[in-house]
Amino acid sequence: MSANIKTFGLGVFNKSPNVEYKVYENGLYLGNSTLSEHLLLVEIIDKEQTTFKLHPDTRTIAEFACYKSNMTEVTSWGNNLKTIGYGAFMQSKLTAITLPNSLETIADSAFKQTKLTSLNFGTGLKAIGYEAFSNCPDLADVTLPNSLERIDSSVFYGTSVTYTDYENGRYLGSGDAGETANPYFALMEVITKTMTTFTVHADTHLIVPGVFYGSSSLESVEIKEKVSFIGSGAFENCIALTSLSVAANNTHFYSPSNKAILEKDTDRLLFGLNGGFIPEDTKIIGEKAFYYRKFTEPLVIPSSVTTIEDYAFYQTNLTAIVIPDSVTKIGKSVFQYSNSLTSVTLSKNFKVIEDWTFSGCKILETLTIPDSVTMIKEWAFSNCEMLANVTYSANLAFIGDVAFSSCVALTTLPASESLRVFGSGSFRGCESLTSITIPKNVRYISSGAFADCTALTTLNVVSENNHYDSRENCNGIIETATNTLMVAVKDTVIVESIEALGAEVFSGIDIQSITIPASITKIGNWAFSDCGKLETVVIEGELTMINAGTFSHCTSLTSVNIPETVTEIGGSAFYNCKVLPEIKLPANLEKIGSWCFGRCTILPQIVIPRSVTNIARSAFSSCANLTIYAEATALPDGWHADWNDGNRPVYWYSETANYDGSHWRYVDGVPTVWAE
Question: Which pLDDT belongs to residue 215?
Answer: 95
DSSP letter at 144 equals B
Question: Which pLDDT belongs to residue 7?
Answer: 64
Range 48-72 average pLDDT = 96
Q: Is 207 helix (H, G, I), strand (E, B) or coil?
A: strand
Return the beta strands (E) in 49-204 as ranges. 51-53, 60-61, 73-76, 83-84, 96-98, 105-106, 118-120, 127-128, 150-151, 164-166, 169-174, 182-190, 197-199
Q: What's the CA gap between 383 and 403, in Å, rounded?
A: 9
Question: Which pLDDT belongs to residue 20?
Answer: 85
pLDDT in tens, 222-263: 999 999 999 999 999 899 999 999 999 999 999 999 999 999
**pLDDT above 90: residue 43:** yes
Dihedral of CA 138/152/66/104: which sign? negative
DSSP string, 374-415: -EE-TTTTTT-TT--EEE--TT--EE-TTTTTT-TT------
- Is residue 340 within 8 Å of residue 364, measured between CB atoms? no
Amino acid at 636: P
Dihedral of CA 346/352/357/363: which sign? positive
Which one is the CATH code of 499-676: 3.80.10.10, 3.40.50.2300, 3.40.50.12780, 1.20.1440.230? 3.80.10.10
pLDDT in tens, 441-489: 999 999 899 999 999 999 999 999 999 999 999 999 999 999 999 999 9
- pLDDT category of residue 12 using cuts at 50, 70 and 90: low
- Is residue 573 within 8 Å of residue 595, measured between CB atoms? no
CATH code: domain 1-162 is 3.80.10.10
- Is residue 240 within 8 Å of residue 217, measured between CB atoms? yes
Domains 1-162 and 499-676 share a fold: yes
Question: Which pLDDT belongs to residue 279?
Answer: 96
- pLDDT category of residue 493 using cuts at 50, 70 and 90: very high
DSSP letter at 256 equals G
DSSP string, 408-436: TT-------TT--EE-TTTTTT-TT--EE
Angle at CA 551, nearest 5°, toward 428 and 643? Answer: 120
pLDDT in tens, 294-347: 999 899 999 999 999 999 999 999 999 999 999 999 999 999 999 999 999 999
Residues 6+ apart with CB under 8 A from 7: 60, 63, 83, 85, 86, 107
SS (H, E, C) 622-633: CCCCCEEEECCC
Task: Give me the phi and psi of 53, to 5 degrees please.
Answer: -120, 120
**pLDDT above 90: residue 2:** no
- Is residue 101 within 8 Å of residue 122, measured between CB atoms? yes
**pLDDT above 90: residue 33:** no
Q: Is 33 helix (H, G, I), strand (E, B) or coil?
A: coil
The per-residue pLDDT of the chain, averaged, comes to: 95
Q: Kind of pairing, strands 458-461 and 477-479? A: unpaired
- pLDDT category of residue 515 using cuts at 50, 70 and 90: very high
- Is residue 221 within 8 Å of residue 235, measured between CB atoms? yes
- pLDDT category of residue 15 using cuts at 50, 70 and 90: low
pLDDT in tens, 403-435: 999 999 999 999 999 999 999 999 999 999 999
**pLDDT above 60: residue 13:** no
User: Taking the domains of the chain in order of start, what are their residue ranges?
Assistant: 1-162, 352-490, 499-676
Using CA atoms, how far residue 625 sits from 284, 664, 675, in Å, is 63, 18, 21
Kindly state the greatest CA–CA separation across the chain. 99
**pLDDT above 90: residue 18:** no
User: Is residue 236 exposed (0-12), middle (13-18) or buried (19+ Cβ within 10 Å)?
Assistant: buried
pLDDT in tens, 109-154: 999 999 999 999 999 999 999 999 999 999 999 999 999 999 999 9
Q: What's the CA gap between 60 and 333, in Å, rounded?
A: 32
Question: Which pLDDT belongs to residue 8?
Answer: 61
Which one is the CATH code of 352-490: 3.30.360.10, 3.40.50.720, 1.20.120.80, 3.80.10.10? 3.80.10.10
Give the count of alpha carbons within 13 A of 388, CB side only. 6
Question: Which pLDDT belongs to residue 3?
Answer: 53
**pLDDT above 90: residue 4:** no
Q: What's the CA gap between 169 and 341, in Å, rounded?
A: 37
- pLDDT category of residue 639 using cuts at 50, 70 and 90: very high
pLDDT in tens, 168-197: 999 999 987 777 899 999 999 999 999 999
Q: How far separated are the first and last CA of the chain, in Å rounded?
A: 75
- Is residue 67 within 8 Å of residue 88, measured between CB atoms? yes
**pLDDT above 80: residue 11:** no
Q: Kind of pairing, strands 663-667 and 650-653? A: parallel
